[in-house]
Structure 1
Amino acid sequence: MIISHMLKAKRKEYQLTQEQLAEKIYVSNKTISNWETGKTKPDIESLILLAKLFDLSLDNLLLEGSDMVKSMDKDIKKGRNLKKILALVILPLIIIIICLSWVTYKGSHKTIVPLSDISNIEMSDNGTINWDN
């Protein structure tokens, strides 16, 4: 049975309004409405509270092949795909940042010599500075 239909049937069987059910499981009545119309599905914490309230086992709510299992499986696959995409984007960015940092370091690396160690400083025609120790 589709979870939205089961929730609505159980709520009516227990003679609860959407507002009353919402208070019992700590969600808004709009959330209950969305569950019953199939716009959204309950999270696992809400499913546990619903199972306790309606004296159901989680197996009844999460029967293999039900829309809830398919929805959760779809969400899990989306999460795995997101991790792959992030890995494909972030890893090259990290490598680029490391390479740019290395190039910047090598380009700005200067030799520091104390002035007391220099006896003669000369500027060559190509703009480099030469000194004698």
Structure 2
Amino acid sequence: MSVSRFGVSLDEELLKALDNYVNENGFSNRSQAIRHLIEKNMVEEKWKCDNIVAGAVVLVFNHEKSDILKKSSEIRFAYKEYVLSSQGFYLNDENYMEITAVKGPSRILTEISDKLIGLKGIQHGKLVMSKAG
């Protein structure tokens, strides 16, 4: 695969955001981060065709500070036909990781993950999808 070089103009705020993204994600340079973002966008666009996919929603949160466990359970129940399983792990005295396995149309799985990740108190959330079948 050949590599092409090109120039990019960014305002100061976007450049700072890009540099923060590089540092927070351990990329060796801006080019690597931009490649990652483009590839991520290509994958997300592919899922918009609403294929049947399988995936996992990973959440990390402080289980002592809110009722996230109750609220996430309510969301999973509302989408029970798409939820395969859910498992939780105590990472330490405060932090908890919840992994929910899901299968269904990518649009629905994205909807489920948006609701779960959008819960107040979520420290980190991510949806990972893969074509099923």
Give the structure-2-normalised TM-score: 0.28
Larger radius of gyration: 1
Higher relative contact order (CA 8 A, sep 6+): 2
Q: Which has the higher strand share?
A: 2
